[in-house]
Chains A and B, each alone.
Chain A
């Protein structure tokens, strides 16, 4: 997995609440058997009309946001389905960090498995960063995972919480299947004990 340490880049504002996984990547793009190449379909129905033309009003279509690497979003980002195509599409577009007051659980987890950092901040902080993101490409935010901070283009610093295990995996780019396999003996002994206690499972 690609490592995530620090990131300085353009942030795009998407203040809409409850942005769901059907908006992030509509189902017609779930028929792939690969993980790559979904960036062109990110936010498809908001981004393109039916003829495939860009909708100029949509934030990521605006010239100043084409190179967006950070998304500042409304509450409850990523709600809906478990489709990992959502973080795949986000990552493939070039976005490595999403900031919101809250994320849907499965989406939040899926981000970490794909080198994307989802950051939860209180509403007041997200409001400040949303305003900052509205400034366009001149305003670059900095995210520092080791220090657990987001710094606005004006130098205002916000600290965030992140699970220590998830943080380590992201910073070191660890493959968690490999990590779990190192604990195979614990799994073996659990399995033996459980199948004695609950043989019907």
Chain B
């Protein structure tokens, strides 16, 4: 009998196309997702070398980072000139190289990590890459999903492989049940709070345990999405009935006999009893509270019931970083987090821009009015947007005073016109609170959709449980 394997080991082994003596492997890539920001130089490289895309049928492109989320965006005149150039470059590259494409005008357009699963491109057991660090999202399906740089994008376009060495295995187990008001976002932020932003470096994380099993596919995607914020290149969750149910009937999922064969294979994708992990972290589900970030690193996580820390609470290089964060965020140590006033609320991104996220936010907002300067909902894809309209969520948001936008990355990284101004403070469902991330000198507090909605209603960071 062969030795027990982890889920990561199994997917890895099934994709090694070549192994050199020093362990450097060519990992075969099943799905290559592409967006407009990290791909132009890669396609240019192909052109210059006269190389085709090796597997255009496995390559899927969608513009998301730059696109405006307001009406009239099909007209390039409504984009800044440089954004329009990047989007036009993707239009042209998709056409010239014959890859699958969802242009801005297509209702299926949206954030690449939302479109992939939604269209059934992402399936269990696959290797998925994208020139984007949040590719980790697709790990929720039990797919090995890596973010890569532009040179690697070019490498995958040309060869359908990635040069890789195997990472170490880490298990993150969330035991038991979550308490009411606690969500997938709180899990993933709490894990980063525990391990730090470099804790996962060199590892592929497998998330498991009852609290993970209990999550919907949307929630699992939220958890894996932020594996990268913990330093891990990929996060994984073993596929189960929920996964199969989510995939079934999607446009690019297998059908009929192929579906049966696929499911039979997918059922073998789990970590064997006794398989070795290099590192194990266990967190009790009931110990996780609704959390917010106070600083400018995703590891700066505290329960909403806590107070702003002082730089002296930290050690080593983190003292200077914490002081810098406090200055940047304009926060006084000792202030209760729930007294921090919010100017803007952003609900969206590949972390929390799916239908379930919008439902959770709408539930809190329903029948209430916002008391922040501005609040926006940016659905993760055109299809999420359509579904939310059908379910009446859009009306709930609009009635409360939210802007109801078109799909894209939007204020998650503010490459389009949706930006914070200097000093503006935002409760955001996105994944990064770095300096300047949402706009020059903008201040970001990362939260779950329910917490963002609660902040919109009260005008302060708020414990969502008080509104439930």
Using a CB–CB cutoff of 8 Å, the interface residues on chain A facing chain B are 15-18, 20, 22-23, 26-28, 30-35, 45, 50, 74-76, 79-84, 87, 102-106, 109-110, 113-114, 163-165, 176-177, 180-181, 183-184, 186-187, 190-191, 194, 198-201
Contacts and interface: CB of A to CB of B under 8 A. Distances in A.
Contact of A22 (B18, B82, B432): B432
Given A76-B231, A81-B132, 19 more contacts: A17-B316, A31-B37, A35-B41, A79-B198, A83-B37, A104-B198, A105-B233, A106-B147, A106-B148, A109-B149, A110-B151, A113-B151, A176-B163, A177-B49, A180-B26, A187-B17, A187-B159, A190-B18, A198-B265
B11 to A, nearest CB: 11
Interface stretch (B105-113, B123-131, B175-183): B123-131
A31 B66 contact: yes
B318 interface: yes
B219 interface: no
Most buried by B among A23, A45, A106: A106
B151 A84 contact: yes
A117 to B, nearest CB: 15
A17 B155 contact: no
A35 to B, nearest CB: 5
Interface stretch (B392-400, B435-443, B456-464): B435-443
A191 B15 CA distance: 9
Contacts of A199: 254, 258, 261
Contact of A50 (B16, B163, B440): B440
A33 B42 CA distance: 9
Interface string B314-333: 00111011001000000000
Contact of A187 (B45, B133, B161): B161
B159 A34 contact: no
Interface in B269-304: 297, 299
B310 interface: no
A82 B415 contact: no
Nearest to B85: A33
Contacts of A165: 20, 22, 24, 163
Given A33-B41, A180-B155, A163 B198 contact: no
B307 interface: no
Interface in B43-82: 44-45, 49, 51, 58, 65-66, 80, 82
A79 B413 contact: no
Interface residues of B, number: 79
Nearest to B43: A33
Contacts of A33: 40-41, 44, 85-86, 89
B133 A177 contact: no
A7 to B, nearest CB: 21
B202 interface: yes
Contacts of A183: 17-18, 26
B338 interface: no
A79 B231 contact: yes
Nearest to B31: A201
B346 to A, nearest CB: 15
A82 B147 contact: yes
B267 interface: no
A26 B147 CA distance: 19
